Amino acid sequence: MIAMADVTSLGIAAVHSGDLESARALFRHALEQRIAIYGRNSPAIINELANLGNVLAELHDEAAARPLLEQALRLREQQLGPDDPVVATELGNLGLVLQAVGDVVAARAAFERALDIQLAARGDDHPDSALAMANLASLLREAGDATLVRRLLVRATNVFDRRLGHSHEATRVTRQTLLDLA
């Protein structure tokens, strides 16, 4: 039997190599192992829930991803409290799934809460805060709020550029999104 950490590491490696189907199987196996040992409501299963949920979202299986990410968020809030930056990351991941299924109201609430947490915990010059800004801007762009979208994207691009550099993917993507608004 392969150790849980090894299964999770293999799943992460599969994600990085682009083999999402293998990653799904490996993360599902790791989650099943954790549940068998710790139970369905243990904080010990959070990472596996999030890993599997995020891969399912990447595979466009949002219906399967959503409950996993919602459970990961609930357990993370119980573990760390509602205002921890890791909770904001879980909110951002859930927000992306909610956006993909068209639940704009819930997605906006998740993105706004994630941004509020990141700004309070890390300030407005941190890449995690910039990512939360970019996620919210992406949703608002679909809703047609161009003024707020531009303001969020300018802030996010400036943070990414300053903190991660001109050539970082996050900087390039947000800059291009900003240029596409014109």
The domain ranges of the chain are 1-80, 102-182
Say yes or no to pLDDT of 2 above 80.
no
Question: CA angle 166-172-178, nearest 5°?
Answer: 115
How far apart are the C-alpha atoms of 6 and 13, rounded to whole Å?
10
Say yes or no to pLDDT of 40 above 60.
yes
Do the domains at 1-80 and 102-182 have one common CATH topology? yes
pTM: 0.91
pLDDT of residue 61: 97
Average pLDDT score, the chain: 95
pLDDT tens-digit readout, 119-162: 999 999 999 999 999 999 999 998 888 899 999 999 999 999 99
pLDDT of residue 24: 97
- C-alpha distances (whole Å) from 89 to each of 21, 42, 77, 127, 149 are 23, 19, 11, 12, 20
Residues present in the chain in total: 182
pLDDT tens-digit readout, 72-104: 999 999 999 999 999 999 999 999 999 999 999
Neighbour-count burial for 131-148, b at 16+ CB within 10 Å, e otherwise: bbbbbbbbbbbeeeeeee
CATH: 3.30.750.24, 2.30.40.10, 1.25.40.10, 3.40.1030.10. Which one for 102-182? Answer: 1.25.40.10
Return the CATH superfamily for domain 1-80: Tetratricopeptide repeat domain (1.25.40.10)
* Backbone φ and ψ of 124, nearest 5°: -90, 5
